[in-house]
Structure 1
Amino acid sequence: MPSEKTLPGLDQAAWEELVTRFDGRMWAVARACGLGPADAADAVQGAWLRMVESLDGIRDPERIGAWLITTTRHEAVRLARRSRGERPAADALPEVLVPDPAASVVDAEFGRRLWLRLDGLAEPCRSLLRLYALNPDAKYAQISMRLGLPMGSIGPTRSRCMSRLRALIEEER
């Protein structure tokens, strides 16, 4: 994670809040493009790097989430093409992915509600589901060590936690 000195105009607390709010979604976008763990990590890291490089030019901070998601998608598509051996024609314009504005609003609102519901869960559900969302390829041994849960209880606990989260979401409807 870059230090405060690396991010002019963005303090450490603001940086950490951005990472907390958007890193999991960025990973989900990269994985949805069919990337493996290493390439997904490169796509997410590339998007964060582009944000840092563009920090002085950000005019609408409220749109940073949409910008990060779109940039992650661009990075992921580029990496997916490279791994398939595709090369863009020299005279071709880069593909511009234009998200549907209505879908973006609905997705963003659903994401906010989902994270709020997740934060309302008791432990270990909150930590376990957050860990899975932010690290989809985490192994049971890693989760066991991180959360102090027996390896044999992780699957059943995750299932119960997901049921609780689904129930909270359904209550909202």
Structure 2
Amino acid sequence: MPEGDLATLVAAAAAGDTEAWNTLVSRYGPLVHATCRRWRLNDADAADVSQTVWLRLVENLDRLREPQALPGWLMTTATRECTRQYRAQQRERPDDPAVHLDRAPDDGAGGDAVDGDLLRHERDAALRAAFAELPEHCRQLLGLLMRPQPIPYADISARLGMPCGAIGPNRARCLERLRRSPALRALLTDAD
């Protein structure tokens, strides 16, 4: 199946299309695996957690309200499964200090920092997914406006062939589209 629309791909996988399912796994498997590796899980535990995440998706695929939010859903589920794995390892060897060094996410800080880091990664993934859903002209415009070094409107106007007076209104419309993205709405719903 070609890359295609994510909603179509999710619907096909939910209907039992093996090719669609394989496309989802190949497209988003690296995201799940990277989340597991972030928690410094060994290969066997990372594989177990990955399988559990895909099992959860099989169980919930037909109930996924916003197919475009799938990347955020996968990251959230992988993070939760990694947390379960981490806690299970602590229960098995509570007095072993290596558990804390071996399994804690690689951020060099305590629990609050871990939570903040996980939330930031979840938010960033949702934002990237939402940004990818925007029309090309919005991605170009916002990409130019959000650079670390500000670009003058005259330069943006020349690059995009857009009048300077249209940049602000177009920016507002593109940001509104971004806010309404299912990927970001799913993240905001999870936070409630």
TM-score, normalised to structure 1, is 0.48
Q: Which has the higher helix share?
A: 2
| Greater RCO (Cα-Cα under 8 Å, separation 6 or more) | 2
Larger radius of gyration: 2
TM-score by length of 2: 0.44
